[in-house]
Structure 1
Amino acid sequence: MSHPYLCPNCKTNKTRFNIIEQKPRAVKMDPSTGEITDEFSMDHLDPIHLPYNGPARKIQCGVCGLIEDEHSFIKRAEYAQKKDNHLIH
């Protein structure tokens, strides 16, 4: 479902955004070299490895560069719409 966005930082941009799809990889790394030694599927994680629970996407404002959760851009647009509707009535 699509929603209008409004940048919560510059508060002017309603049209230009970068949508960043987040695709987590569960890995185990060598502590000395940083080399990936093992990779897990999200269905079969190590018992002490927590699954990713962050947002599926982040949004970057194409004007000021702010990167935030999509929810922040949607809520800012809803707030501005309510404010504009209130001023009209």
Structure 2
Amino acid sequence: MHGPYCCPNCKTNRTRFNIIQQIPQAVKMDPKTGDIIEQYGNEASDLFHISFKGPEFRVQCGACGLVEDETTFLKFGEYKR
């Protein structure tokens, strides 16, 4: 879903953005040390471990640094046309 962006925070940036890919890594950690005990793959995870359901990427304004979902920047870009 691409289109013209506009930052809803600084309201002027329409050209400089960082696209941040979110690559989740499911892990089980030791509660005392924080060491990773187990890593889960995409095919099978622990019964009590919920898989990541967030967006594939997020967008950061290159002027003010606001980080939001792409739809936020797209909707404000449509509004400010």
Q: Give yes or no for TM over 0.5.
A: yes
Kindly name which structure, 1 or 2, has the bigger radius of gyration based on alpha carbons.
1
AA aligned to 1:23 is: I
**Structure 1 residue 50, shift from structure 2 partner:** 0.3
Gap regions ≥5 residues in structure 1: 82-89
Cα RMSD for the two superposed structures: 1.0
Please list every run of at least 4 consecutive aligned residues from structure 1 whose deviation after the TM superposition is greater than 2 angstroms.
none
TM-score with structure 2 setting the length: 0.94
Name the SS of the counterpart of 1:18 in structure 2.
Answer: strand
Q: Between the two proteins, what is the percent identity of the paired residues? A: 54
User: Which residue is equivalent to 1:76?
Assistant: 76
Count of equivalent residues: 81
1 or 2 for the larger relative contact order (CA 8 Å, sep ≥6)? Answer: 2
Judging by fraction of residues, say which structure has more helix: 1
Name the SS of the counterpart of 1:47 in structure 2.
Answer: coil
Gap regions ≥5 residues in structure 2: none
TM-score with structure 1 setting the length: 0.86
